[in-house]
């Protein structure tokens, strides 16, 4: 942009005999902005979107070393589109939803529990170092404590859905308002979280708990109490019903 403007100044200076006054430079600048704004607007928007995507990718790739978020996402990673070296397969969900999903979970469990879960996840990480540095995520996902921690988070989440339709609308709005920019022509360019995507996400997240509450309701009551059991049953029932 600066180079383009400098060229325009050179052209105008040549027309004026080799130099421009301050007033002439100001006039050239104003005309340049007015005439070139529409031409460069699309370019700047693409550049902004590219930078935003890169920033979000780095942010959430960095969050992959935060086990609290990654352990939860493991349960529905198969719903993302295929990606080299990563989970994914069905493509019902878009990775563009990740920032909004994490924010929704954080809001539903609150800062106190979030801090507790994060500290417990850090302890799990310490048990599974990988040769050469980093962590053995296969072992982390297989760790029984990681599974128990995810269940505890989801039991809290289920409690927040006492008004299912209202909370579902809130969740979808939050996710959709924080979608990362899509690449033009990408399969998820126009993806939005709707009732179908929400149901697929929650059914995957709660698949294990749903099976257990059907098979062993007494075990759920013993571990979390009657109120938590009832809240989970109501939530699972909503997920099992046809989408309305």
Per residue in 33-76, pLDDT (tens digit) is 777 777 677 777 777 766 766 665 555 444 444 678 888 999 99
Cα–Cα distance for residue pair 40/59, rounded to 1 Å: 28
Please state the domain extents for the chain: 1-50, 64-240
pLDDT tens-digit series, residues 181-209: 888 888 888 999 999 999 999 999 999 99
> What pLDDT, on a 0 to 100 scale, did the predictor assign at position 239?
92
Is residue 179 within 8 Å of 100, Cβ to Cβ? yes
- Residue 89 or residue 80, greater confidence: 80
Is residue 112 within 8 Å of 119, Cβ to Cβ? no
> What pLDDT, on a 0 to 100 scale, did the predictor assign at position 203?
96
Task: Give the SS3 label for residue 54.
Answer: helix
User: What's the whole-number mean pLDDT along residues 118-138?
Assistant: 88
- Residue 157 or residue 52, greater confidence: 157
Cα–Cα distance for residue pair 208/146, rounded to 1 Å: 13
Which of these ranges, 169-173, 181-185, 213-217, has the smallest mean pLDDT? 181-185
Cα–Cα distance for residue pair 34/66, rounded to 1 Å: 47
111: which 2 tokens? 């800062």
Within 8 A by CB and 6+ apart from 205, the residues are 72, 75, 76, 154, 157
The confidence band for 174, taking pLDDT boundaries of 50, 70 and 90, is very high
Helix (H) or strand (E) holding 188: none
> What pLDDT, on a 0 to 100 scale, did the predictor assign at position 62?
46
Closest CA to 140 of 89, 148, 103: 148
């Amino acid at each position: 942009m600066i180079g383009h403007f400098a060229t325009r100044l050179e052209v105008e200076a040549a027309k004026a005999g080799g130099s421009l006054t301050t007033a002439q430079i100001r006039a050239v600048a104003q005309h340049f902005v007015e005439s070139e704004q529409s031409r460069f607007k699309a370019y700047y928007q693409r550049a902004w979107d590219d930078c935003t995507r890169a920033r979000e990718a780095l942010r959430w790739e960095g969050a992959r070393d935060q086990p609290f978020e990654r352990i939860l996402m493991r349960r529905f990673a198969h719903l993302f589109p295929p990606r080299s070296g990563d989970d994914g397969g069905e493509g019902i969900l878009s990775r563009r939803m990740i920032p909004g999903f994490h924010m929704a979970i954080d809001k539903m469990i609150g800062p106190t529990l979030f801090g507790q879960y994060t500290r417990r996840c850090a302890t799990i990480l310490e048990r599974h170092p990988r040769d050469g540095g980093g962590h053995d995520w296969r072992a982390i996902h297989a760790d029984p404590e990681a599974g128990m921690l995810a269940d505890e988070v989801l039991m809290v989440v289920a409690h927040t859905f006492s008004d299912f339709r209202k909370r579902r609308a809130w969740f979808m709005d939050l996710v959709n308002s924080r979608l990362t920019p899509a690449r033009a022509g990408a399969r998820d360019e126009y993806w939005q979280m709707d009732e179908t995507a929400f149901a697929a996400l929650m059914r995957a997240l709660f698949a294990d708990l749903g099976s257990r509450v059907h098979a062993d309701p007494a075990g759920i009551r013993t571990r979390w109490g009657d109120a938590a059991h009832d809240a989970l049953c109501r939530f699972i029932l909503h997920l099992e019903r046809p989408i309305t």
